[in-house]
Amino acid sequence: MKNLRVKAARAAKDMSQDDLAKAVGVSRQTINAVEKGDYNPTINLCISICRALDKTLDELFWENE
């Protein structure tokens, strides 16, 4: 499942995938895979992404049914 919330939050902060990747210590390809839904990030990576984007885990990663 695509994670459009991460992509939207990143865009709202005017960050590229590379900017976010550098902020959280992963590759741009990892951020791309998270946004495309091809990679299920660890909880630590989720927390790092949330901190970098000033969002909560619920805002970015909780799946509503």
- pLDDT tens figures, 16-57: 999 999 999 999 999 999 999 999 999 999 999 999 999 999
Nearest partner of 53 among 30, 23, 27, judged by Cα: 23
CATH architecture assigned to 4-56: Orthogonal Bundle (1.10)
Confidence of residue 65 (pLDDT cuts 50, 70, 90): low
| Those residues with Cβ within 8 angstroms of residue 29's Cβ, 6 or more apart along the chain or in another chain | none
Q: According to the model, what pLDDT value does residue 63 have?
A: 77
How do the domains of the chain map onto residue ranges? 4-56
pLDDT above 80 for 1: no
pTM of structure: 0.91
> How far is residue 7's CA from residue 35's CA, in Å, rounded to a whole number?
6
Q: According to the model, what pLDDT value does residue 2 have?
A: 84
